[in-house]
Amino acid sequence: MHRLGVDTQFGRLTLTQEEEAITALTWSGRDTGTATDLLREAARQLIEYDTGTRQAFDLPLRVRGSQFQQDVCAAMQRIPFGDTVTYGDIAKALGAMPQAVGQACGGNPIPVIIPCHRVMGAKGLTGFSGAGGVETKVALLRHEGAAGLLI
């Protein structure tokens, strides 16, 4: 397992690589192992996102968890930059309950890259599992120009 940290306006984000895929992004952790080509590419893409020159990530990802967790993460990856959807929207598409989708969003192992910050509650803004909680979610949405959608 290899880890590489990247300083962004959202805090220090640490990428984890296992085998040939990114498996985690956390707001804590230390660099460990080798800074592989994949980790350097993922760091480059995060910096581009941070500076506003990238709207979508193109990285091999591996989401560990149930098939439902993987399906919810795949649905989140399809949300365009600057857009938001509700837990109910994803639930309807997957034939599931919104609460289950909310739990899967909270368990997203690769936030920002898999944009769980773009998922809202039926009545608007909800929590966020990243460091800083809802304030970080708001910062990510504002960064993407989605601030008008927060009302």
Secondary structure (3-state) at 82:
coil
| Local structure of 105: helix, strand or coil | helix
> Tokens 């857009």 — which residue?
83
Give the span between the Cα atoms of 135 and 58, in whole angstroms.
Answer: 26
Length of the chain: 151
For 33-58, letters b (16+ CB in 10 Å) and e give eeeeebbeebbebbeebbeeeeeebe
For residue 98, what are the β-bridge partners?
Answer: none
Residues taking part in catalysis: 116
Torsion region of 76: left, alpha or beta (phi above 0 gives left; psi -120 to 50 gives alpha): alpha
